[in-house]
Amino acid sequence: MTERLANILITSFTKILMPGIRVTIPLTVCSFAFSMVLALFLAIVQVANIRGLKQLSQLYIWIFRGTPLLVQLFIIYFGLPSVGVMLDAFPAAVIAFGMNLAAYNAEVIRAAILAVPEGQTEAAYLIGLTYPQLMVRVVLPQAFPIAFPSLFNNLISLLKDTSLASSITIVELFTTAQQIAARTFEPLAMYCEAAVIYLIFCTVLTWVQGYVEKRLVWEHKEGDRKGLRGLKTGV
Amino acid sequence: MLEVKGLHKAFGGNEVLKGLDFKVEKGEVVAVLGPSGSGKTTLLRCISFLERVDRGEILFGDLRHDMVHISKKKIREFRMQMGFVFQSFNLFRNMTALHNVMEGLTVARQVPRQEAERIAWEMLRKVGLEDRALYYPDQLSGGQQQRVAIARAIAANPQVILFDEPTSALDPELTGEVLEVMRKLAEEGTTMVVVTHEMAFARDVADRVVFMEDGGIVEEGPAEEFFRHPKEERTAQFLRRVLGDLESDR
């Protein structure tokens, strides 16, 4: 058994890894990007207290956090065609994952915005900044480092949740593992192998997180300061 | 030059300003004194529209406006002519000292970048922090942060600068450098309203002193006269207490 199993494990490794790189990762990146755009909007209309939109945003978050991701995925891919909305599997998955994660990310971003000291908002108004300028130039740049660890946490979660896409015909990492398991009758080995590949992806992400976090503190921006010093002599 | 009339402000049921009139002339330095809870800070925050008054009117330069029914746009117009220095500095922590000073110029007033940068360097020189221009607020001491905040407040050449207890959040050994900068500004003829507990500063630098208690002005007058011959008994009491502290500190 050992030689056969070893062979299967070795040959299947790249077979599972490739759809991971070609499908799982793009699916994760697209869904996360979409979720961030939506989440930013959902968070800002709440913080800015825009009547109507704020309540709508709360309703959205209530629904998407309160129902299972798999159910949302099925509604979008299998359900919507009956009202005339036909989507390919990949965009359907991006929309489902993105909309679901947006609800969570919106709360992370909202909390981070509220964590930026209020005094700076007053100072910004007093030097003549408008609300959008205040947000873009003062609040969001400071909210980002606060939100980053939680957002990254959600990204890692998403990477693994994309395995649910196998249930709507997308051939990604986990689907491929399933297929090989069925063909070789080695479910334990194949699913463990799939798990190891997910673990490798997440390990890389964790390194990226640590690397970025170190550079998110303002006083560590040595390069910025040097660059500006050069500017000074020019003035 | 700047005048507010009949200011009423209540927080909940608690009336903090009770029909207060306040005025500052061009080039004048006014110190606002009074026990805590007397409404000094609220007065400044109402003048700069950080708090909305319940009733009141503002006259500023040739602008005159009701302070209750006023648009955001109009408020911004008023604020563009004011500088404000907070007790807690409130520098933008994502920007260097230089960019803190430039921000109001480039973003709010569309001053060209190079020109804004020239002005910002000049302002930082004025507060003695040229060598800290490229530091972030977290890398500066409280006194240095407050001096940057002053540079930010004066950068757009406002008609009046409002100081809200500018040294109250500082360690005692750091208040001196901030007061020194303020004294210099006063000597240059800057119009200033200073809410403060620094009696020596009020006595030596202010032209006029306003003493507040319970949401109203109890007494006001030229600084020297105010400290030597207070007219009201309540003022005299207050002075005995704080100046007594000042003496025993030495």
pTM: 0.86
Rounded Cα–Cα distance for residues B163 and B167 (Å) = 9
Structure confidence by residue, pLDDT tens digits, B94-109: 999 999 999 999 999 9
The C-alpha of A124 sits at a distance from chain B's nearest C-alpha, in angstroms, of: 8
Mean pLDDT of chain B: 93
Q: What is the pLDDT of residue B62?
A: 86
Three-state DSSP state, A68: coil
Q: Among residues B142, B98, B100, B134, which one has the least CA distance to residue A222?
A: B134
Q: What is the pLDDT of residue B115?
A: 97
Residue A225 pLDDT greater than 90, yes or no = no
Q: How many domains does chain A have?
A: 1
Decide the pairing of beta strands B2-11 and B55-60. antiparallel
Chain B residues within 8 A of A138 when measuring between CB atoms? 92, 94
Average pLDDT over residues A152-165: 97
User: Which of A127, A139, A146, A233 to mutate against chain B (most B CBs within 10 Å)?
Assistant: A127
For chain A, state the CA radius of gyration.
22
Residue A235: pLDDT band with limits 50, 70, 90 = very low
Average pLDDT over residues B193-217: 94
Beta carbons within 8 Å of B162's beta carbon, 6+ residues apart:
B44, B47, B48, B82, B83, B84, B85, B192, B193
Q: What is the pLDDT of residue B248?
A: 53
Residue A230 pLDDT greater than 50, yes or no = no
Residue A136 pLDDT greater than 90, yes or no = yes
Rounded Cα–Cα distance for residues B140 and A179 (Å) = 61
Find the helix packing angle between B72-79 and A118-126, rounded to 10°: 80
Structure confidence by residue, pLDDT tens digits, B78-134: 999 999 999 999 999 999 999 999 999 999 999 999 999 999 999 999 999 999 999
Average pLDDT over residues B23-29: 95
Rounded Cα–Cα distance for residues B79 and B174 (Å) = 29
CATH number at residue A214: 1.10.3720.10
Residue B45 pLDDT greater than 90, yes or no = yes
pLDDT > 70 fraction of chain A, expressed in percent and rounded: 92
Three-state DSSP state, A217: coil
Q: What is the pLDDT of residue A226?
A: 39
Rounded Cα–Cα distance for residues A103 and A43 (Å) = 9
User: Which of A126, A134, A220, A233 to mutate against chain B (most B CBs within 10 Å)?
Assistant: A126
Rounded Cα–Cα distance for residues B77 and B91 (Å) = 22
Average pLDDT over residues B34-61: 94
For chain B, the three-class secondary structure string (H helix, E strand, C coil) is: CEEEEEEEEEECCEEEEEEEEEEECCCCEEEEECCCCCCHHHHHHHHCCCCCCCEEEEEECCEEEECCCCCHHHHHHHHCCEEEECCCCCCCCCCCHHHHHHHHHHHHCCCCHHHHHHHHHHHHHHCCCHHHCCCCHHHCCHHHHHHHHHHHHHCCCCCEEEEECCCCCCCHHHHHHHHHHHHHHHHCCCCEEEECCCHHHHHHHCCEEEEEECCEEEEEEEHHHHHHCCCCHHHHHHHHHHHHHHHHHC
Q: Which residue has the higher pLDDT, A2 or A95?
A: A95
Q: What is the pLDDT of residue B165?
A: 95
Q: What is the pLDDT of residue A55?
A: 97
Structure tokens at B175: 């208040």
Q: What is the pLDDT of residue A219?
A: 53
Average pLDDT over residues B50-77: 93
Rounded Cα–Cα distance for residues B197 and B125 (Å) = 27
Which domain does A179 fall in, by range? 2-233
Average pLDDT over residues A54-75: 97
The C-alpha of B212 sits at a distance from chain A's nearest C-alpha, in angstroms, of: 25
Rounded Cα–Cα distance for residues A158 and B49 (Å) = 45
Contact A219 B114 (CB under 8 A): no
Rounded Cα–Cα distance for residues B57 and B64 (Å) = 8
Structure tokens at A97: 């994952």
Rounded Cα–Cα distance for residues A137 and A94 (Å) = 30
Q: Is A127 in contact with B104 (CB distance < 8 Å)?
A: yes
The C-alpha of A4 sits at a distance from chain B's nearest C-alpha, in angstroms, of: 59
Q: What is the pLDDT of residue A220?
A: 45
Could you tell me which chain B residue has the CA closest to the CA of A231? B117
Decide the pairing of beta strands B82-85 and B63-66. unpaired
* B122 reaches A (C-beta below 8 A): no
Q: What is the pLDDT of residue B35?
A: 92
Structure tokens at B144: 């240095």
CB atoms within 10 A of CB A178: 18
Q: Is B152 in contact with A120 (CB distance < 8 Å)?
A: no
Residue B246: pLDDT band with limits 50, 70, 90 = low
Q: What is the pLDDT of residue A216?
A: 82
